Structure 1
């Protein structure tokens, strides 16, 4: 297993040529299946989906400013994907370790970082056993890109959050985002296609939705299509899990805005503190 003090991840296994969901895709509701979803063909197109420049313009300095306000210096990016936020934070002066469960994503992230003049410190890790593969304590952990919704079982979600909590310094913060599944489940899917998936001529829409599965289809200009199966987390459920694991002072933003009641946001961003202020000595 690669450690975070090395520069690259050994690409020790070949990804399948096709995504693996079994005979009935809507029955595939297992956390570990993400390894069968992020195949090389999909990963190679991921940057078309998010469009680094458009996404940077859309989110502005929200994450950079949030981290600076909390005095953050070192960051563990546990869902680095193709490296977008790791690179942005490096360029803003943070010390960053980049982790992901997908070796394909880490290879792409390393390539993207090198093209921009950075050597990413990468490590392949499953969040449920994060402390086994990543070492040290961090001022902040970020889990972005709707990634936490790959956790299908509550025990997996609790285990992952507990691993995050354990790796944070006593006054550290967790920044975690998610789609607005409340709106999708209650009112149907709509999107401003502005903040997260900004690529031109790329469609990202749900193909199936129920209380236990959001199956999204991603269509690209070359007529290729890929899918992701995710758990539709409701906002208040996610906030409750964070509190029960031990996080305090949880702020939730909608599309990078503190006040979002006038219009349903596409995404929620939770900023949760590991704080002991309320505990008397």
Structure 2
């Protein structure tokens, strides 16, 4: 039976474990997640960015590694992609399946831990997307490397990984306004950092209609660290966008989106020069 309440113990800011997200995405929080995401609002904010990137690279098959309640899996299916919908939370996958079915689609869902995803997902894919700030649920350095290595191994020789993260650099350096609303939030929902240090970003999610409050504990990944880690695992080129734009001031974006290429592409000293741009 799905749990209905979160469990962080007596010292919530000391909970810094990769697997703890299983206790954070409880039934009641998952049921409210689409109020937070606001599918229509998110679709308007993102536009066709991810679809354009995937098409520009000639991708046809995609692993949605952080399916959540199914938003991106549904968008990709509607756009004609072959999609494997993966998540480590059974509560999220169940909600995603229902959301897709309500829209006349059937998801191919896989419950899997990223660190051993090749054990659960068969084949090689043109692309893997890991969105919704999900990669920051990993607190352990070894687990991050292991996860990226799994992603790398499951891509075809010319595949790409699209991974996003909050702009934790701005939060850690005090350049983000307290209570700032992130681009995917629905009406009547706030998402703001309650505590942040170099090893933990604890976010508080409040729903005004019933006063319910939930938390997520995440690791505040710095942009340059993620880029470097991708290179170390084997990705040849990493291009980073700020809120879907290729040009930005470091402190401005809410989110960074990294597009990492597995294939080697000769370049004249300018990394990202040959990267296809979304339309």
The two structures have a TM-score, normalised by structure 2, of: 0.92
Aligned residue among 237, 240, 245 for 1:249: 237
1:182 aligned residue: 169
1:53 aligned residue: 40
State the Cα deviation string for residues 46-99 of structure 1 (Å, max 9, x = none). 000010001100010000000000000000000000000000010011110100
State the Cα deviation string for residues 189-246 of structure 1 (Å, max 9, x = none). 437635222x001010011100000000000021000000000000000000000000
1:11 aligned residue: none
Per-residue deviation at 1:15? Answer: 2.4
Instruction: Give the number of aligned pairs.
Output: 264
2:18 aligned residue: 31
State the Cα deviation string for residues 95-128 of structure 1 (Å, max 9, x = none). 1010000000000000000011100000100001
CA contact (8 A) 1:189 1:206 kept: no
Looking at structure 2, the residues matched to 137 and 263 of structure 1 have their Cα atoms a distance apart, in angstroms, of 36
CA contact (8 A) 2:133 2:165 kept: yes
> What are the residue-to-residue correspondences of 1:180-259 with 2, within 5 Å?
180-190=167-177, 193=181, 195-197=183-185, 199-221=186-208, 222-259=210-247
2:252 aligned residue: 264
- Secondary structure of the 2:173 match is helix
1:275 and 2:263 correspond: yes
Per-residue deviation at 1:134? Answer: 1.0
2:273 aligned residue: none
Looking at structure 2, the residues matched to 277 and 132 of structure 1 have their Cα atoms a distance apart, in angstroms, of 30
Per-residue deviation at 1:262? Answer: 8.0
The two structures have a TM-score, normalised by structure 1, of: 0.92
Aligned residue among 73, 79, 87 for 2:74: 87
> What are the residue-to-residue correspondences of 1:131-210 with 2, within 5 Å?
131-190=118-177, 193=181, 195-197=183-185, 199-210=186-197
1:66 and 2:72 correspond: no
Looking at structure 2, the residues matched to 269 and 71 of structure 1 have their Cα atoms a distance apart, in angstroms, of 19
CA gap of 1:262–1:143, structure 2 versus 1, over 3 A, is: closer
Looking at structure 2, the residues matched to 187 and 32 of structure 1 have their Cα atoms a distance apart, in angstroms, of 28
State the Cα deviation string for residues 108-165 of structure 1 (Å, max 9, x = none). 0000000111000001000011111111100000000000000001001000000000
Gaps of 5+ in 1: 1-13
Looking at structure 1, the residues matched to 176 and 211 of structure 2 have their Cα atoms a distance apart, in angstroms, of 22
Gaps of 5+ in 2: 267-279
Looking at structure 1, the residues matched to 2 and 204 of structure 2 have their Cα atoms a distance apart, in angstroms, of 20
